[in-house]
A and B are shown apart, each in its own frame.
Chain A
Amino acid sequence: MLKKGIRDILSASKDTGWVLEPQAKRLFSMAGLDVPRFTWATTVEEAVQFAQEIGYPIVGKVVSPRIVHKSDRDGVAVGIDSDRDLAETFNRFSRFEGFAGMVAEEMISGVELIVGAKIDYQFGPVILLGIGGTEVEIYRDITIRMAPLQERDVESMVKGLKAGRLLEGYRGSEPINMSELTRLLVTFSDLVMELEEFIESIDLNPVICGAAKCIVADARIMLRDV
């Protein structure tokens, strides 16, 4: 049974056709996934206050129901390191069509993965794991399984990635926390089973994985046409 908070976010997003990043993150956070510390700022002051609380540098991302792929539109700024830089970024974003504020969030580093879901016509909910980032569709290093996933599926999914070794610690980097990745994928897959009738597809991209955690740094939920 979906939590009320999750159902509320889905129904509030119906008209847009997809769930905006800050709401999507709230939804996944309610479902038990880790997200970065962030705020959805609609004024420069809110953004600055958040940045001063957690400390620079931070990431800024435009929020607009008209912009599905933020990076393609230069709507993502990483390494914002001062109040001034932050205000400039906010003002630049405010000129985007449909501007509805800015996500200000902590910067996280680690291996970037994509975790996705799609409601397939023939097979129903399926889960995708791949090497993430903005170039996912260039490398297409992905593996797909029918949901719900079992824990043992995660291991075989990682093995199925050409760049799977990146997750094991490569050239001095620490290996990622496999049990956290497993928890994330299994929790996500269980959630997707419950979301089947509401969604068309989901991108969690990137999911940033390190030695301690796997954090959903960006999320997009495309809703089903009804």
Chain B
Amino acid sequence: MTDAARPARQPPLSPHVQVWRWHITMLSSILHRVTGGALYGGALILAIWAICLGAGPEAYMTFMTVLGSIPGKVVMFGLTLAVFYHLGNGVRHLVWDAGLGFDVKTANLTSVATLAFAFAATLAIWVIAAMTGAL
């Protein structure tokens, strides 16, 4: 008379590091999430910058002093890396969404290329920052 109860729908679980062997595409996938999480913090720092700017010169100078300190610069360097990695890997995801670059060889190659781009772009930006007196 009645249907059997529907089976509970189990959400699919993400591949786990104890299940999957390490490979470069796994690293690039994990880094996309890690850098995304870091940029969450970066966006909040951007919001604090805007709020301090709105609060006036004293608050703004305090903010700039904190960000210009050594720990502040370390955070900003990390955020630069995160921005360029997430940007590069984001473009990689968009190419995948177009249905391209899925074969293993290309996926491995673009993993390395994205990492190389992130480091190269970060270095270039910090050299430009040093030359323009931003440090």
> Does B bind A?
no
Interface residues of A (CB under 8 A from B): none
